[in-house]
Structure 1
Amino acid sequence: MSRRSSMSDSSPVRLALSDFLLLGLTRLRTKPLRAALSALGISIGIATVVVVTGIPASSQQAVMDELSSLGPDLLRAAAVPDQSQGGTAGLPEASIGMAARIGPVQEASGVANVHATVRRSDKLTDTGTGITVLAGKSNLLGLLGAKLHAGTFLTPANERFPTVVLGAKAATWLGITDLPTGRTQPRIMINNTWFTVVGILARSPLAPDVEQSVLVGWDAARTSLDFDGRPSVVYVRATGPTLEAVRAVLGRTLNPEQPGLVQVSRPSEALAAQRITQNAFSTLFLGLAGVALLVGGIGVANTMVISVLERQREIGLRRALGANRGQIRGQFLTESVVLCTIGGLLGALLGVLGVVAYANAHDWPVVVPGPALLAGIGASIAVGVLAGVYPAVRASLLTPTEALAAD
């Protein structure tokens, strides 16, 4: 009975997980500067992972919101210059009505380049800004999903008169960026006729040709600018499932005799291409984040190896007092994992703050992918395990006499 009791008393004491955590945190409290510098590499790597996934995700959500509001169901049919006719471009006069009669088409509108000159003042011979004068239909604003920055758009009541609506870029070039109430509305000269500015459009990503143009009413263009009534661009909206079918027949419908002179495009595809480019850069930045994680892991491993060398006497004393090799390994491995976990959590916080700041600066919705956040923290813990394995094994292999005899 006494022999069994003696054998029980000499067996090593089992350490609970909380004991290992206390041991791991003790060294971090006694050497805070070294711990902070070691964790910094991990923090930078995790913050980079969160940022390079969160910013593109926020950008993608902004693009998707913009597409939803501006027109994934929008088609643009533009006239191609006919070289046999001297390079002129134009669709048949009835083409807008023909497009509207296609079954799945919900609405059709169009613009036409009237090849006129815009001047801010009659004292100038030319603006030199490349502003295009477009005749436009009154339903163009709603069909494009565009918005007004100031004033009103063309209406059946004013489109017959010499009134004009400025695109966002054209307004900047002309120096007319607002229409304050209670003041005389500004005027611009188109050819030799004064036109009153009644509205200014906000930015229109799906219609860049409208952004850098001035819009006059269809009837006013006929009476004041010798417009022949032939549109140069026709816009149509169709329901999503039938969009490709409409796209296939639109060219032949608008110009049955020469369908090859009609180029049909989907403006939202340009934004999709932009998104693909952003994804390519995101892949590059994720590679850089991996390098940052690797550098941080090497820094943690270096810290742990130095910690083993500095604490050989402590290791020897613990071994002499009964700590087994497993407990020594657990102590150093816990220190490494705790160090990397703290760095990972701090890096995740910094990454989220970075995404929030960047998205708010660009008026984007804030999107932080949960899987990327969890993967970043998980990667930091994995780095802690890998960086702590060798120092932990090395510490556990020291015998009490070797460790106590170290200088």
Structure 2
Amino acid sequence: MPRLSVVDSIRTALIGPRSRKMRTALSALGVAVGIAALTAITGIAASNQAELLAKLDALGANMIVVQPGYGPDNKPVALPETAAGMIERVNGVEQVGVLEKVPDDTGVYRNDLMPKSQGNGLTAYAASPDFLSSVEGSVAKGSWFDETDRSLPVTVLGSAAAARMGITEPGVRVWIGEQWYTVIGILDSAGLAESIDASAFLGDHWAAEHVSAKGDDTIASIYVRMTDGGTGEKVRDAIARAANPSSPYVQVTGLGDLAGARDTADDSLSGLAVGLAAIALLVGGIGIANTMVVAVLERRGEIGLRRALGARSGQIAGQFVAEAIVLGGLGGLAGLLLGAAGVFVYASVQGQAATIPFLVLLGGPLVALVVGVIAGLYPAISAARLSPTAALRTV
């Protein structure tokens, strides 16, 4: 029997799946689930990583946050009022910004009718005019504090705080503590410094006179911008010692560490996804193999007839391998489309750009084809070994 061309081989391979559409769909389902899981989770992790890198670039990998640490009694150890000034003297420090505490019961609400027992996750801080530049923040609408505003009952809202209260423009009033404040500005998102986004800022002079926490425990956070490459362990130790020379309990965190922690979490999730995808692909491969074994049994008459007409055993085996490849390829393509759709939906909900690694786009279908080849080997060999005489008896 003459050798079939590539086109004829493909056409022949499609005959079986077309005649058993439901069985074909169920056989390809396992492969589709595996490829979809691999594509979706890998794409989501890549999208998150791209978003993190963008946020890190926006805020700067050279940002360090200094906060009160916790002592042996698990209580916070206050930073002294001199902490910011001492940190400025550390070699490599470019700029320092301070957020000061206000009393814990200083709630931030849209109006004075909201029950004080109903929390909304918003926090009030006192900030100086140079705080925003120290974190390289920007104002989306309105303005930041100037020398006059810092002494008046006005506030600047973080992006999340404004969104949560339904405020889109400056000029409205909000209820903070027990007083009305006029919103003079709304900030852009601060990226990795998410606590800034969910905050309402008061002028430091006004807060010192009217609402700031009393006593020595007034500093909530100190944002330290270093020169490039200046966030190593030695630099952090120097900043911790400068912030509170009398106590070792100082919390010093690099925003680059936050990105690394999230990246590690995404890597763990990706590893889990690969495991789940491998299981799904194994199940899919078994399904394809089972389908092809049944196909061999059902088509023994066809196999015997083709062998009687001169088809070689290799051609018979090649036909069944080709059909298995078709099943794997269909599952891989469907899984790739489903996984990509999942990534785009997730990215749309999160408001970020969808990213799917090229290796996944290329490798997903290739893996599916390999699964098809492996799953089709045993049925193909079984078909090739059938005796033409025995096979023709089933016709």
TM-score range, shorter chain: 0.7 to 0.9
Q: Indicate which of 34, 55, 67 corresponds to 1:45.
A: 34
Report the counterpart of residue 217 of structure 1 in structure 2.
Answer: 203
Contact 1:167 1:214 in 2 (8 A): yes
2: CA distance, partners of 1:347 / 1:59: 21
Cα distance in 2 for residues equivalent to 1:25 and 1:82: 71
Structure 1 distance, partners of 2:258, 2:333, is 38
Residue number in structure 2 paired with 1:108: 96
Picking from 330, 335, 343, the partner of 2:318 is 330
SS of match in other structure, 2:229 = helix
Describe the shift of the 1:21–1:140 C-alpha distance in structure 2 as closer, same or farther (beyond 3 A): same
Contact 2:336 2:364 in 1 (8 A): yes
Name whichever of 287-296 and 345-354 sits farther off.
345-354
Query: For each residue in 1:123-174, what CA deviation from the matched residue of structure 2 results, as whole angstroms up to 9, or x when unmatched?
Result: 99966748654221112223334454653322223112232224456667xx
Stretch deviating more after TM superposition (353-362 or 140-149): 140-149
1:253-288 deviations in Å (ceiling 9; x for gaps): 2333x1524322224423432332232222222211
2:173 maps to which residue? 186
- SS of 2:266's equivalent in the other structure is helix
Q: Give per-residue Cα distances to partners, 1:23-73, cap 9 Å, x unaligned.
A: 212323333333233223222221121112111111111111111112321
Q: Does 1:348 align with 2:336?
A: yes
User: How far is the alpha carbon of 1:109 from its aligned partner?
Assistant: 1.0
Aligned residue in 1 for 2:58 = 69
Percent of paired sites with the same residue? 35
Deviation of 1:190 after TM superposition, in Å, equals: 4.3
| Structure 2 CA distance for partners of 1:103 and 1:17, relative to 1, 3 Å | same
- Mark the runs of 5 or more structure 2 residues left unpaired by the alignment: none
User: Following the alignment from structure 1 to structure 2, what is the Cα–Cα distance between the partners of residues 39 and 132?
Assistant: 52
Describe the shift of the 1:338–1:88 C-alpha distance in structure 2 as closer, same or farther (beyond 3 A).
closer
Letter in 2 for 1:138: P
- Tell me the distance in 2 between the aligned counterparts of 1:148 and 1:196: 16
Name the SS for the 2:338 alignment partner.
helix
Asked if 1:144 is matched to 2:135, the reply is yes
CA radius of gyration, larger in = 1
The answer on whether the counterparts of 2:52 and 2:192 sit within 8 Å (CA) in structure 1 is: no
Work out the CA distance in 1 between the residues paired with 2:394 and 2:17. Answer: 23
1:78 aligns with 2:67: yes
Q: 1:196 aligns with which of 182, 187, 199?
A: 182
Aligned residue number for residue 354 of structure 2: 366
Aligned to 1:8: none
Calculate the TM-score normalised by the size of structure 1: 0.83
Give the partner amino acid of 2:57.
S
2:85 to 79, 97, 116: 97
Matches of 1:248 and 1:87, distance apart in 2: 19
Q: Is the Cα contact below 8 Å between 2:162 and 2:168 reproduced in 1?
A: no
Tell me, in whole angstroms, the C-alpha distance in 1 between the residues paired with 2:297 and 2:116: 80
Give the Cα separation in 2 of the matches to 1:168 and 1:176.
10
Letter in 1 for 2:221: V
How many Å separate the matches in 2 of 1:304 and 1:133? 67
Distance 1:131 1:323 in 2: 77
Q: What letter is aligned with 1:216?
A: L
> 2 CA distance for matches of 1:46 and 1:400?
39
SS of alignment partner, residue 159 of structure 1: helix
What is aligned with 1:54? 43
Q: 1:307 aligns to what?
A: 295
| Cα drift, residue 210 of structure 1 | 4.0
Distance 1:156 1:37 in 2: 70
Q: Any stretches of 5+ residues in structure 1 without a counterpart?
A: 1-11
CA distance in 1, matches of 2:156, 2:262: 29
CA distance in 1, matches of 2:118, 2:254: 30
CA distance, structure 1, for counterparts of residue 235 and residue 346 of structure 2: 39
Task: Name the aligned partner's letter for residue 280 of structure 1.
Answer: S
SS in 2 for 1:260: coil
> 1:133-282 residue pairs with structure 2 within 5 A?
133-148=124-139, 150-167=141-158, 176-178=165-167, 180=169, 185-188=172-175, 190=177, 195-201=181-187, 204=190, 206-225=192-211, 231-244=219-232, 245-256=234-245, 258-282=246-270
In structure 1, how many angstroms separate the alpha carbons of the residues matched to 2:222 and 2:101? 12
2-structure distance, mates of 1:370, 1:318: 42
User: Aligned AA for 2:148?
Assistant: A
Q: Relative to structure 1, is the Cα distance of residues 306 and 176 closer, same or farther in structure 2, using a 3 angstrom cutoff? A: closer
